[in-house]
A and B are shown apart, each in its own frame.
Chain A
Amino acid sequence: MFAYIVKRLLGAIPTLLFLVVAAFFMMHMAPGGPFTSERKLPPEVLANIEAQYGLDQPLWKQLWDYVTGIVLHFDFGPSFRYKDRDVNDIIAQGFPISLTYGTLSFIVATLIGVSLGIAAAIRHNSWIDYFAVSLGIVAQALPNFIMGPILILTFTLWLGWLPGGGWNGGQWQYLIMPVIALSTSYMGNIARLTRSSMLEVLNSNFIRTARAKGLPARSVIWRHAMKPTLLPVISYLGPVFVYVLTGSVFVDLYFSTGGLGQSYVNSALTRDYAVLLGVTILYGALTIFVNLLTDLAYAWFDPKMRY
């Protein structure tokens, strides 16, 4: 097990390096640069600025300096757009916000989704089942960029219960709508997945055995059916966790939360190479880490998995 974790973490290094190199070149292939703008700068000025940021160097040299900066000093370089701010600052400011409402959304989506799915499967073809299935379908049809405006319309403009945006240090009034907006569609998916998985497990031979043994229903469900039911759900949850952190650009826009999603998109639009690369690496590393956690969770749920 320990050997397996070490192996996986070592394997992450070439993956990340590949990610950096690919992202780096793709970005430089895109037309324009951080300092191209409507109003043409005098050539000497432009050359000066570019020299200051090292953009006059050959590409491979720029890549080399960038990578060594990260490896040796954990320095992701300065932002090309915002003076006096470097990438580490921007991430340090935005990421905790994304992480907070992302994690909350993830927990809400998982808890409600799994509970709904299980309730629906246990009471198959009852009103709970129909309710859960319809709710799941509706929720799936409401991604965060639809939920955002609906929530603001309802709770801010009509009812006036909640502030329409801002972060304010993560106070609960400011968290509610971002979390609901982000979690709804995932919750629907999780509920649907859990329900069908549980239905399949309840039809399996070992559940028949458990019933034939005379075990009470709750023991059949929780002790025997639960773990196999959650196996497919877990493999879905891993990517979802990364999505809720990366896919939050709309939430940042609608609710002005100031999370990393907005910086990410802005940096791509303005060719802010350093910020874009820094955030890409962060998300890449996060994906690798979450995948590792998913696989370890698998081993706990399924004894046939051994690493």
Chain B
Amino acid sequence: MAVLTVDNLKVSFDTPDGPVSAVKGTSFHIEAGECLGIVGESGSGKSQTFMAAMGLLPSNGRASGSVRLDGHEILNLPVGKLNDVRGADVGMIFQDPLTALTPHLRVGEQMAEVLKVHRGMTGSAARRLCLDWLERVRIPAASRRLRQFPHELSGGMRQRVMIAQAMLCEPRLLIADEPTTALDVTVQAEVLDLIAGLQKEHGTAVALITHDMGVVARMCDRLEVMQYGEVVESGSVGKIFGAADHAYTRRLLDAMPRIDAGDAPAPMPAETETLLDVDDLRVEFPIRPESGFFRKPIPLKAVNGVSFSLARGETLGIVGESGCGKSTLARAVLRLIEPTDGNVSWLGTPLTDLDKRAMKKERKDLQIVFQDPLASLDPRMTIAASIAEPLKTYRPDMTARERRAAVAEMMERVGLDPDMQNRYPHEMSGGQNQRVGIARAMINRPKLIICDEAVSALDVSIQAQIVKLLKDLQAEFGMSMLFISHDLSVVREISNRIMVLYLGRIVEMGDGDMICATPRHPYTQSLISAVPIPDPDLERSRERIRIPGELPSPLDLRAALRFLPSKLAAGDEDYVPRLDQVAPGHWVAEHDPLDRILAQAPAQDAL
């Protein structure tokens, strides 16, 4: 029998311009113990459907239709009645674990209040049950976590706390709204495993709201595809992935880059001229320890001796998990952050020695596109003014008319209607704003573009368009790119070569396709095996390589040798792993055999 039945649900929001309809009469149901995927891009109404069902719409939201939980109507119940259901029969976890927990309450206090409200349970009995659930979601040192504040835990751990909290009363239904979107791939894989495990063990039904077809392939039994507030296709995962009926579903599936298939750029011919040469680059930040009267800052080695070169027209992908130093590396190359040590040589000129004025001249050829398209544009400048700004700096000879023409041409080139030139960033979509960012970076025809998570905040279909745009621009103008992303599938799609970073050091570097198909370093292997593939049969039969513990802190000196436990055991904590060339152009950092790494105790106390 269905746990949740949604019938002709409509959601609208009152705005000064009249009501805006977000969900236009959706109907679906979730069976006991099954995992239903609700897929769609931003604005499809997939989250609002469930917010409305649980009475969590903002105060200007209106819902009509019917939502039945175990046959009882719950839509638009008064809050008092609804509170018997929320947290008890239905648990919820949300996208952004960093802000989803109350900052000033300890983990144990937040969890215990659920038991107090729904079970009347307090004191040591409640504490024992909370502890029990923290252990079930595999949080290391669980009893200490109860006394910690949310900000003392990593993102992955906070999401586990959210899951434990949602499961305390063993709900019949768990609503997971983009539960892994902000997390690193290996953490994502673990959180998904956890949810799948709970579903199996406790028979909890799961509503998994996501935009990621790979996640759907791994987790879901059935699927509802939503677009513009309507369900456009529904059915079993096998059927939809096999032969999608609706054009939108097919588009979503096609837009999804894959780590195991699809075109990837070929390696560059060996004789191509080198543009950029980075030698032993280091960036350190002084960090003050938390306690002690006389606190001496200790260096956080964000980039710890990275060397690479980049050829004309080549794209080098830089991947790694949060805190690995990939953004710092990119900024240090451009001297947006001053490197502590090492050399950056650009066309034979050492950038690191230049004074401010000489550096400014070089910046004409060195451009960067940032992650958050809206935040990285000046909100008070029209987009045409933003795009034209580099021209004013570097081409003072141009007349206003010439500048306008150049801007219009570039806007057209990046797929923006030149009629939009007087718009402001907040009047445009994320994808359009990112095109503005690219146009601004490209307007002086630079020789190097750094894309720092440039497509990470975008919907899959928009992401595919932007990646295609970058590739087209590269084919036309021949610039080189450093493409930074935590998403390996996207990086594979665009990069000739890929560099894998771990805690500020290169662990593996080589041709893109080779890194993804036959990774040699255990860390690369674990990353790649954690990337979900949008193919249910393949995804469910894959074997994952799990390196014990969470991603450690760059301040933890021992963590640097996580893949060389033999050196740690020998007491050689300052050892720097060698980079060996295992095949032409394929570099792998020295590491112990996989069994030896997997055998070590999980890294304690990931910060």
The interface residues of chain B lying within 8 Å CB-to-CB of A208 are: 56, 94, 100
CB atoms of A214 and B103 under 8 A apart: no
Does B236 interact with chain A (Cβ within 8 Å)?
no
Partner pick for A303 among B84, B99, B118, B149, CB 8 A cutoff: B149
Q: Which residues of A contact B102 (CB under 8 A)?
A: 206, 209-210, 223-224
Contact between chains at B113 and A215 (CB < 8 Å): yes
**Quick check: is B162 within 8 A (CB to CB) of the other chain?**
yes
Q: Are A227 and B104 in contact (CB under 8 A)?
A: yes
B462 interfacial by beta-carbon distance below 8 Å = no
Q: How far is the CB of B54 from chain A (nearest CB, A)?
A: 6
Question: Which residues in window 1-16 of A have CB below 8 A to B?
Answer: 3
Please tell me if the beta carbons of A209 and B101 are within 8 angstroms of each other in the complex. yes
Q: How many residues of B contact A (CB 8 A)?
A: 35
Partner of B86, one of A204, A205, A211: A211
CB-based contact A223/B56 at 8 Å: no
Whether A214 pairs with B83 at a CB distance below 8 angstroms is: yes
Give CA–CA (A125, B91) in the complex, Å: 30
Given A214-B86, A223-B105, A306 and B100 touching (CB < 8 A)?
no
Tell me whether B114 and A213 are in contact (CB under 8 A).
yes
A217 touches B79 (CB 8 A): yes
Residues in chain A near residue B100, CB distance under 8 A: 205-206, 208-209
CA distance A204 to B99 in the complex (A): 8
List A contacts of B149 (CB < 8 A).
303-304
Is the C-beta of A33 less than 8 angstroms from some C-beta in chain B?
Answer: no
**Distance in Å: Cβ of B314 to nearest Cβ of chain A:** 41
B547 within 8 A of A: no
Interchain CB contact (< 8 A) of B84 among A206, A214, A217: A214
Tell which of B56, B58, B100 has the most Cβ of chain A within 10 Å: B100
Q: How far is the CB of A96 from chain B (nearest CB, A)?
A: 37
Q: Which residue of B lies closest to A6 (CB)?
A: B293
Q: Across the interface, do B87 and A214 meet the contact criterion of CB distance under 8 Å? A: yes
| Chain A contact residues, majority secondary structure | helix
CB neighbours of A42 from chain B (8 A): none
Partner of B59, one of A125, A210, A211, A224: A125
Residue numbers in B under 8 Å from A217 (CB-CB) = 79
List, in ascending order, chain A residues with CB within 8 A of B58's CB.
203
CB <8 Å contact, A205 and B94: yes
Tell me which residues across on chain A come within 8 A of B87, comparing CB atoms.
212-215
List of B residues within 8 angstroms of A227 by Cβ: 104
Closest A-chain residue to B295, C-beta based?
A: A3
Please give the distance in Å from B48's CB to the nearest CB on chain A. 13
Q: Quick one: which of A205, A228, A301 has the most chain B CB within 10 A?
A: A205
Q: Is B151 engaged at the interface, CB distance under 8 Å to the other chain? A: yes
A111 to B193, CA, bound (A): 50
Which residues of chain A come closer than 8 Å to B101, judged between CB atoms?
Answer: 206, 209
B104 touches A212 (CB 8 A): no
Instruction: Give chain A nearest CB distance to B380 CB in angstroms.
Output: 23
Query: How many chain A residues have a CB neighbour from B under 8 Å?
Result: 27
A303 touches B56 (CB 8 A): no
Determine which residue in A203, A208, A213, A216 has the highest number of CB atoms from chain B within 10 A of its CB, and name it. A213
Contact B113–A303 (Cβ < 8 Å): no
The yes or no answer to A85 lying at the interface (CB within 8 A) is no
Task: Say yes or no for A302: interface residue by CB 8 A criterion.
Answer: yes
Query: Among residues 109 to 132 in chain B, which have CB atoms less than 8 Å away from a CB atom of chain A?
Result: 113-114, 117-118
Assess whether A228 is in contact with B290, with CB atoms less than 8 Å apart. no
- A209 lies within 8 A of B84 (CB): no
Chain B residues with CB under 8 A of A206: 99-103
A227 to B149, CA, bound (A): 14
A219 is an interface residue with CB less than 8 A from chain B: yes
Q: Does any Cβ of B come within 8 Å of A61's Cβ?
A: no
Q: Given contacts A203-B58, A214-B117, A215-B83, is CB(A209)–CB(B94) below 8 Å?
A: yes
The docked-state distance in angstroms from the alpha carbon of A176 to that of B329 is: 64
* Pair A302/B59 contact, Cβ less than 8 Å: no
Give every chain A residue within 8 A of B233 (Cβ-Cβ). none
Q: Are A219 and B113 in contact (CB under 8 A)?
A: yes
Cβ of A28 under 8 Å from chain B: no
Chain B residues whose C-beta falls within 8 Å of the C-beta of A219 in the assembled complex: 113, 117
Which residue of A has the minimal Cβ distance to B104? A227
Residue pair B56, A214 in contact (C-beta under 8 Å): no
Contact B94 A213 (CB under 8 A): no
How far does the alpha carbon of A223 sit from the alpha carbon of B85 in the complex, in Å?
21
Q: Are the C-beta atoms of A124 and B104 separated by less than 8 Å?
A: no
Cβ of B88 under 8 Å from chain A = yes
A224 to B293, CA, bound (A): 33
Give the residue name and chain of the B residue nearest to A216 (CB).
Answer: B83
What residue in chain A is nearest B149 (Cβ atoms)?
A303
Closest chain B CB from A150 CB (angstroms) = 37
Q: Which residues of B contact A216 (CB under 8 A)?
A: 80, 83, 117
Which positions in A face B, CB cutoff 8 Å? Answer: 3, 124-125, 203-206, 208-217, 219, 223-224, 227-228, 301-304, 306
30 contacts between A and B (CB under 8 A): A205-B94, A205-B99, A205-B100, A208-B94, A209-B101, A209-B162, A211-B55, A211-B56, A212-B56, A212-B91, A212-B92, A212-B94, A213-B86, A213-B117, A214-B83, A214-B84, A214-B85, A214-B86, A214-B88, A215-B83, A215-B113, A217-B79, A219-B117, A223-B102, A224-B105, A228-B104, A302-B104, A303-B103, A303-B104, A306-B290
